[in-house]
């Protein structure tokens, strides 16, 4: 792991508004696959165009539904790791910390983060694919999507698929937090999926220091102070220096 610069520790001690921006890598040490890892990533083993688009669901709702039911069973079985716990602890120690996540898991909440802003929804929530009304959670072994009682449309997971807009409230809150942030700590994201990937860049344009925690290079490297290493090691180390 790279050394944590003393100047960063000083900047964190002095900062009021710190924004944490997380992606699938923060949950990797809990055992959840990321999306773009070349071997174990979901998109290395499943085609996103067959599973994570509204067109795929319209074409073959049963296949898409069953894939998300499998994901729900996997997600229900994992626990937060040291990185989730460190972020929750940072939130209590820093005066005005905000957590923006692209993750559809609930590991930040389980680690004690009170109000993560979810840009890509939650794999556990449901909505009607036709009228959009919220639908109740169902047993994770139900093989077919139930019908909406309002309009007869099919139930789908309340996540953001490719080609869909991000939920308006969370997106607006994330943009506002980015504009106000003094420091952004981007953790475990390939920073390639837009518009979410704009969040650290918006903060940078507004003058924030961008710190990146990731064992691999990403497009954020050129504007960030890069702490190469697993989030479950780097974040507790950073916290211990605060
Ligand atoms: C570790 C670690 C450890 C490992 N510690 N780190 C501009 C340019 C180009 C394309 C576009 C653009 N604007 C829009 C697009 C199109 C598209 C897009 O971005 N495509 C790109 C992929 C090219 N975007 C969209 O379609 C978006 N919608 C949209 O634009 O709508 C327009 C519209 C507007 C108004 C009305 C209507 C339409 C929507 C994007 C939705 C993304 N959805 C997914 C699936 C969610 C549901 C599900 O889970 O099934 O969201 S895709 C997937 O990617 C998921 C993630 O949230 C997202 C980001 O991935 P993430 O989290 O970064 O994971 P990975 O795997 O990529 O990276 C993991 C990282 O962790 C790696 O860097 C590792 O090194 C690291 N790591 N172990 C720390 N221990
Ligand atoms: Zn409906």
| pLDDT digits 0-9 by tens, 64-98 | 999 999 999 999 999 999 999 999 999 999 989 99
Atom 22 of ligand 1, nearest CA residue = 193
Atom of ligand 1 nearest to the CA of 231: 5
CA distances for 235 relative to 9, 87, 129, 228, angstroms: 12, 7, 38, 11
Question: In what helix (H) or strand (E) does residue 125 lie, and over which residues does it extend?
Answer: strand 121-128
Q: In what order do the strands lie in the sheet with 134-135?
A: 134-135, 121-128, 155-159
How many A from CA of 127 to the centre of ligand 2?
8
Point out the residues that are catalytic: 120
Q: Measure the CA–CA gap between 115 and 124, rounded to whole angstroms.
A: 16
Asked whether 159 lines ligand 1 (CB < 6 A), one says yes
Distances (CA, A) of 178 to 79, 95, 221: 28, 16, 18
| Ligand found nearest the CA of 123 | 1
Could you tell me the two tokens for 24?
A: 């699938």
Instruction: Kindly report the backbone phi and psi dihedral angles of residue 54, in degrees, each rounded to the nearest multiple of 5, phi listed first.
Output: -65, -30
Tens of pLDDT, residue by residue over 198-221, are: 999 999 999 999 999 999 999 999
Q: What is the average per-residue pLDDT within 103-108?
A: 98
98 bridge partner residues: 19
Rounded-to-integer distance, Cα 208 and Cα 189, Å: 18
Q: How far is the CA of 241 from the centre of ligand 2 (A)?
A: 51
- C-alpha dihedral over 81, 84, 86, 92, to 10 degrees? -140
Is the pLDDT assigned to residue 1 strictly greater than 70?
A: no
Ligand 1 contact via 72 beta carbon (within 6 Å): no
Q: What does the pLDDT look like over 130-186, one tens digit per residue?
A: 999 999 999 999 999 999 999 999 999 999 999 999 999 999 999 999 999 999 999
Query: How many angstroms does the Cα of residue 193 sit away from the middle of ligand 2?
Result: 29
């Amino acid at each position: 792991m790279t050394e944590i610069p003393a100047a960063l520790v000083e900047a964190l001690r002095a900062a009021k508004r710190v924004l944490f921006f997380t992606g699938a890598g923060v949950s990797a040490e809990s055992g959840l696959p990321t999306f773009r890892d070349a071997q174990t990533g979901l998109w290395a083993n499943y085609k996103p165009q067959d599973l994570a688009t509204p067109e795929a669901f319209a074409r073959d709702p049963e296949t898409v539904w069953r894939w998300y039911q499998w994901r729900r069973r996997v997600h229900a079985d994992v626990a937060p790791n040291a990185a989730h716990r460190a972020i929750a602890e940072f939130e209590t120690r820093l005066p005005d910390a905000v957590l923006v996540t692209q993750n559809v898991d609930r590991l930040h909440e389980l680690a004690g983060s009170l109000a993560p802003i979810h840009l890509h929804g939650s794999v556990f929530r449901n909505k009607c694919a036709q009228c959009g009304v919220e639908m109740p959670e169902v047993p994770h072994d139900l093989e077919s999507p139930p019908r909406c009682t309002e309009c007869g449309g099919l139930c789908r997971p309340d996540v953001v698929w490719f080609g869909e807009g991000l939920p308006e409230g969370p997106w607006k809150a994330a943009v506002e937090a980015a504009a106000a942030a003094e420091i952004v700590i981007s953790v475990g994201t390939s920073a390639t999926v837009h518009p979410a990937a704009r969040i650290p860049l918006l903060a940078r344009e507004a003058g924030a220091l961008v710190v990146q925690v990731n064992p691999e290079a990403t497009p954020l490297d050129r504007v960030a102070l890069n702490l190469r290493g697993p989030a479950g090691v780097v974040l507790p180390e950073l916290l211990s220096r605060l």
